[in-house]
Structures are given as C-alpha cells and as structure tokens.
Amino acid sequence: MLSPDEFREKYPADELEAELPDSPIGSLRDLQYLYGKLYTLATTGGGEYAPYLTPDAAGDLLDTDDSLIVVRVDVSNDEPRLADDDFGPVQVTRYSNELIQQVGHCKYPAARGIDHSVTHQAGRNSDPEKLARYAKERLTKWAVDEVVRKAADTHADGWIIERLAEVGENEDALETIEETITRKLGGESATSLLTVRVKTESDGDYQWPGELDVFNEAMRQRKLSKLVTKNKADDSSGEATDLVTGRPARTVGTSEDPQNYFLGKQLEKFPGLDIEEAWRSHPISEDAAITVMNAETFVEACTYRTFGAKVYYLPYVFGRSAAEKVHRLYELLYRSVEEEETTPIENAYKREREKTIEERDFRFYVSAVMPHQMSRYDVFGETLNGRLHYPKQLAIAHNEFVKTVSALNRDHYTDWTAPLPTNQNWGLLETNDEQLHAISTGWYFRQTFAERDDDEADADDPRIEALVSVLSGQAIAVDVLLEEYVTRIIDDETDDEEYEGFPSFLVASQFAQLCVLADERLNLLATADPSKEQITREPTYDTDIMPSLDEIPIADGGDPAASKLESFINETPALSPTHDRDPDSVTSQRRGAFLLGALVGDIGSYQEYSEDRSTTLVDQYPVKSITRSRIKKVTQETVAKTLTYTRQEKKQQGGYPGTKADHIVDRLRETILKPDPEEWEIETDDLRFYYALGVTYGMNDHPWNREENDADETEEEN
C-alpha cells in the first residue's frame, strides 16, 4: 500500500479528483465506495480490473522464498504444450511488489474451491504434492469452470483459455508439472501462489495473466457471479439505477459487504425479503459492489470490539471531496491501518492535535453491529453525523468536573470533607489523559453500568447504546442510566471482597458521570418524563477554593455540616427546592430519599467508628430494600436510632446540644415523616439511586484535619 507521501505523488489533485465521485458523502454506501476507491488506487492502481484484485490476500508472501509457482504454457502453435526452453515448464520464484498486478490474483474467501483468478493461493506450508495439484488445477479446474468458459466463449481471445484446458487433458503434461515442482522444492513444504504464464505468439514472450484481457475478464465474471447467487439465489440481478453513481446499470442484490449490511439474513434491512428481488431493494451496480468490497481493509482499521459488538467509527470528508481533504483522509486511514494499538477515535484526535487533519473538514459514520449465529447481524445506533468533538469534549469535561468542582474536591473545604469521596486510583474519580481512551472503548460505561458477560451480549445492551450515543452526540435517556446505576450498586453492595462494604466510590463515579453528561456544552442527557427533567440539568457546584468553614457566617449558630448540606442540595438541580418548590413534587421526594441516605450513612459511620459495630444501618438498609412502601418505616427507625445516640452522647458529655445530625433529621420530618410516601410518584430506580447518593454523602460527612491527613498520606506513600 502506498504511503501518504507516495499517494500524493502518484495522484496529484487533478488526477485524484478525476477518480472520485462527484457528489458529497450521503450514505454508508457512498462512504464505503470512497474507501474502496482509495484502497484500490493505493494498492493496484487504476484501470478497469484493478478493483477486482485482492493484493492483501497474499501480502505476507511478498519477497519470501518459493512464494510463486508458475506453470508456463505455449499456445502459439496448433498443439499447445508446456514450455521447453531454458526456464522449463515450471518456475519456482519469489512473489514481489512488481508482480502484484501481473499475476492478477483475486481471492475467493471460501474453505473449498478455487480462487476467482487463474492465480490461486495455497494454504500455509503446503506439501509439494498439494502444490502440484493446485498448479495442475489451473489447467484442469479453473480453465474449465462454467463461468470462465462462458467468459471465454464471448471474448475474442477466449481461445487462449480453451488451449489451457487442452493441456490440462494431457496426462504427460500433468505428470511433468508434478515432477518438476517436487524436484524444485526439494521435497520441502511451501506457502505459495500458483499461476500460469502463456506464450501466444511464436516470436513473443510469455505473458502474465494480468497482461491478457481474457484472463482479467474471466476473473471479473467469476467474481461477479458470486454477487448474484449468494444465499441460494439463482440470479439476483436486474437493470436499475445504481444507488452509488446514480447511473443506469446492471445491479446485483446479494453482494458482500464490509460491515455485513444488506445481506439475505439481515432482516431489519430487508424486511420480507425475496432473495431473487434483492437488487430492487438495494440496487448497486456490479463495479460499485466490487469497489465497496475493497473498503474492508480501511473499514476494519477503523473498527474495534467492545461489549461483544463491533463499533465502527469511519471518518469521511464533510461536503465536497476536494483532493487536499481526501489526501488527508487517506493519511488518516493509512495510519489507522498501521497503528493498531489505539482506537480510530484516538488516532483521529492525535492527527487533529498534530494538525494533519482539521476537525471541521471531517465527520464520522458511527454504528455498532452485534453478530449472532447463522450469519445474523443486528445493526443499531447508525449516524453519519459523528464528530471527533463529541468524545473529545466529554473527556475534557469529565476531567474538568472531577478536578475543579466542590462536590468532589476536598481542597474546597479547609476543615470538612467534600460532599462525595474521591480516590485517585478509581478511574472516573481521577483526572488523567486516559479518559478519551475510556470513552472510545466503552470503559467509561463499563465502570458504572450493570456488569454483563460480553459473550452473551445482545443488541439491547445499554452499554453499547450509551457508547454509540456519546460517539455520535446523541443524548442518553436518564431512565437508562438510573436503571443501570441501581442494578450495579445492588450487585456490588454484597461484593464484600472487592468493596469491603457499601460501594461509595462506585456511587460517586456514577454521580460524576451523570453530572458531566448533563453539561450544557454536551447535552448528552435527556428525558421525556417531566419528573426527571431536573436530573438532566447541569449542577452549579463552586469551582473556587473555599475558605475555612470556621470563617463562613452560619445562620442561627448552625454547624459547618448544615451549611455544606444546604449548599450541595441547592446546587444539585435534581434535589434543589429552588428548581421545584412543590412539597409534593418528585424533586421533593427525591430530596427526601437523598436525606434519608445521608442520615443512614452518617449514623452508620458513627456506629462503625464510635460504637465499633460490624453491622451498621448502612448494612441494615441496603439500596435494594428501599421502596416507596418501606421508606417511611426506614426513616422512623433511623431517626429513632439517631435520637438514641443523641441521648447517649448527652450523658457522656454532660449535655449534648440539640439532636445529633439535626440538620438532616429536621428536613426529613418535612419530606418523609409528615407526608405519606406510599402515594409518591417517584420511580423506584430514581428513589434508590438518590438514596445511595445520600448514603455516600453521609459516610463521607465528617471533619478532617488537612495537615494530619496529608501527613498520613505521605507516610503511606513512603
């Protein structure tokens, strides 16, 4: 394949534009056709038959010993025969770049059968006997193939193929081929291409298949025959307008596709398919179909696997395909083929940073394909409007959020913990350069969504839907996130070996992700449910370092914990009464669930560290136990336990002022104890997630001494 510099040199602007379609990319087929064109130009060059060749199929044989075995046949006289000159009837040589077009190899990717071209690729390390059989089959099998014979009958030089077949009927000639190959290989196995060279004029040279039009046309017809007979069709072809070029042509209905779209068993693309009439549903001309098939190398280079699916992220020139832009596109595709260690998204971002591409000039086709048995494929999440901006901006926004906002950053608080815990070894709670990789590979959602076996994944997998959404700039449904979050929390709550209790870092990660997706610059969060609309709004957490809470005026002699709680609730739209003052609203109910969780987490931590209890309220009231019908009872029992500890501390301290955690208890009386939660409208996943967020908040709500904690951390690192 030509390097980008070689490609520019061989195809300057005027020559390249002459090879390109006139219209902008408007469909997946247009994009695949462009990829196929570029691949063909970069490997086999231009010309009528170039798209039909498959140079990559035998690419690993280039410049290797004994990689090309050539049967030489003289058909210049009335009696066709094997060559008897100094080079002999069979040559065993090296396959080289200069011979790619001359041997005219066209691979037939089937376990059995012969290649479309007279040139055939043997299996790896074939023994001399097998190689001899393949060599003889160039005369005894390919030359008499039904499609090849039909092509020969209508071609002016068809007699050449007929003469090959005559030599194939000569047993002495076949024995000579076998004996010569065995002798020249010295009994050793080899991996080789098998082909022929033919002398058609008595004073002429022996010519390669690629130099004789009749061989090219026979190869072309044999390959085309497979485009109309797949899936047991007799002849799925007809005259129609080619959907790629817009010109009248013979169109085919069962052609192959780099992404396995529009196949006979692709029911969502072909509802009620009559295989013989497939060309009417999806008319693509013969030559366009072949060019589309050649897109496979570039398509696969821009593809990666995750969650049991194949994700396609295919760049294309947005608008008119000017030569300079196509040159940059070719470089991007070439680099994707050569640099397999990263996803195509990261490759594109790297090129954008190096200014070898400009983002505004490119868009990306995005989709995911889920394979099933029996050659079935489910396609979902397709869009031609993907932009590198979407995953890149999400990665930037996530790092900004974790690094700067008060909800997750203890540097905002001198004497008190931040609302939520952080952990620099926890993917979504740390700022790093790997967020783009996490987003593009789906790891961004694997960390927070319910766990699944990728081997048993299906097309309804919400992880894949979320991934395709963020790659294409489409919003994710809040309902999906809440369901996935809660399922993961409940699953991990009981995994004592990994989390050693309540999964607070998981919940903090989920909440950070939820907030980032709600960022107004991204608009990646949506809902059709008015009761969840507040969740889709971006929080307004402070990004400035706060002074000591001792220095902040606190109304009515309250404590720093009350001020922090008030601030967190007011700055979180899903909880804030400033966004919805109705005491009976879902926002109020959600706030009640959060406050209950905060009290459970607070008292649970007290039980663990002050009472040395192994089982706390956090264990007693796991997330899965919280429902509308139970939340009031859980609240009453938690408040009662809080009052018990208040009385104990009053006795121990000689008069404890007020109620323990009274800044939470007082608000709970208003939100849960007075109303009847059984009549609430909030959905269970919504209720449970914000309860879990509250537990995480409460467990992390305590004073801390910056100097002592920093000293402890330094000792641990040393």
Residue 552 has pLDDT above 70, yes or no: no
Range with lowest mean pLDDT among 202-206, 244-248, 485-489, 508-512 = 244-248
Residue 546 has pLDDT above 60, yes or no: no
Position 153 scores a pLDDT of 95
Mean predicted confidence (pLDDT) in 649-667: 74
Could you tell me if 344 and 336 are in contact, meaning their C-beta atoms sit under 8 angstroms apart?
yes
Position 448 scores a pLDDT of 95
- The H or E element spanning position 315 is strand 309-317
Residue 554 has pLDDT above 70, yes or no: no
**Better-scored residue on pLDDT, 254 or 395:** 395
Instruction: Count the Cβ atoms, other than its own, within 10 Å of residue 487.
Output: 17
Write the single-letter amino acid at 413: Y
User: 123-137, 232-246, 491-505 — which one is most confidently predicted on average?
Assistant: 123-137
Position 500 scores a pLDDT of 65
Position 714 scores a pLDDT of 40
C-alpha 61, offset from chain centre: 31
pLDDT digit string, tens, across residues 114-153: 899 999 999 899 999 999 999 999 999 999 999 999 999 9
Residue 374 has pLDDT above 60, yes or no: no
Range with lowest mean pLDDT among 23-32, 192-201, 473-482 = 23-32
Residue 262 has pLDDT above 80, yes or no: no
Q: How would residue 713 be classed by pLDDT, with cut points 50, 70 and 90?
A: very low
Six-digit token pair at 24?
């902008």
Q: How would residue 549 be classed by pLDDT, with cut points 50, 70 and 90?
A: very low
Could you tell me if 537 and 573 are in contact, meaning their C-beta atoms sit under 8 angstroms apart?
yes
Mean predicted confidence (pLDDT) in 561-586: 85
Position 231 scores a pLDDT of 60
| Unique residue bearing structure tokens 């494929």 | 377
Residue 712 has pLDDT above 60, yes or no: no
Q: Provide Rg for the chain, Cα atoms.
A: 35
Position 270 scores a pLDDT of 56
C-alpha 475, offset from chain centre: 17
Instruction: Count the Cβ atoms, other than its own, within 10 Å of residue 109.
Output: 10
317 φ, ψ (degrees, to nearest 5): -75, 130
Average pLDDT, the chain: 85
The answer for residues whose C-beta is within 8 angstroms of residue 620's C-beta and 6 or more apart is none
Q: 577: helix, coil or strand? A: coil
Six-digit token pair at 472?
């294409």
pLDDT digit string, tens, across residues 375-384: 667 777 788 8
User: How would you write 240-298 as a 3-class SS string?
Assistant: EECCCCCCEEEEECCCCCCCCCCCCCCCCCCCCCCHHHHHHHCCEEHHHHHHHHCCHHH
Residue 350 has pLDDT above 80, yes or no: no
Residue 691 has pLDDT above 90, yes or no: yes
Please give the Cα distance from 266 to 524 (Å, whole number): 30
pLDDT digit string, tens, across residues 156-212: 999 999 999 999 999 999 999 999 999 999 889 999 999 999 999 988 999 999 999
Classify strands 248-252 and 120-121 as parallel, antiparallel or unpaired: unpaired
Q: How would residue 337 be classed by pLDDT, with cut points 50, 70 and 90?
A: confident
Range with lowest mean pLDDT among 347-361, 498-512, 689-703 = 347-361
Range with lowest mean pLDDT among 82-91, 229-238, 265-274, 278-287 = 265-274
140 φ, ψ (degrees, to nearest 5): -95, -20
Q: What are the strands, taking DSSP E only, across 2-154?
A: 68-74, 81-82, 90-93, 120-121
Q: How would residue 707 be classed by pLDDT, with cut points 50, 70 and 90?
A: very low
Please give the Cα distance from 530 to 523 (Å, whole number): 17
Could you tell me if 237 and 244 are in contact, meaning their C-beta atoms sit under 8 angstroms apart?
no
For the packed helices 586-609 and 560-571, what is the interaxial angle rounded to 10 degrees? Answer: 140
529 burial via Cβ count (<10 Å: 0-12, 13-18, 19+): middle
The DSSP symbol for 381 reads: E
| Unique residue bearing structure tokens 């050693």 | 500
Residue 31 has pLDDT above 80, yes or no: yes
Please give the Cα distance from 149 to 153 (Å, whole number): 6
Q: Among residues of the chain, what percentage have pLDDT more than 70? A: 88
Write the single-letter amino acid at 563: S
Q: Which of 536, 512, 526, 439 lies closest to 475 in space, CA to CA?
A: 526
Could you tell me if 206 and 198 are in contact, meaning their C-beta atoms sit under 8 angstroms apart?
yes
What is the full DSSP assignment across 443-459?
A: HHHHTTSPP--GGG--T
Six-digit token pair at 457?
């994944």
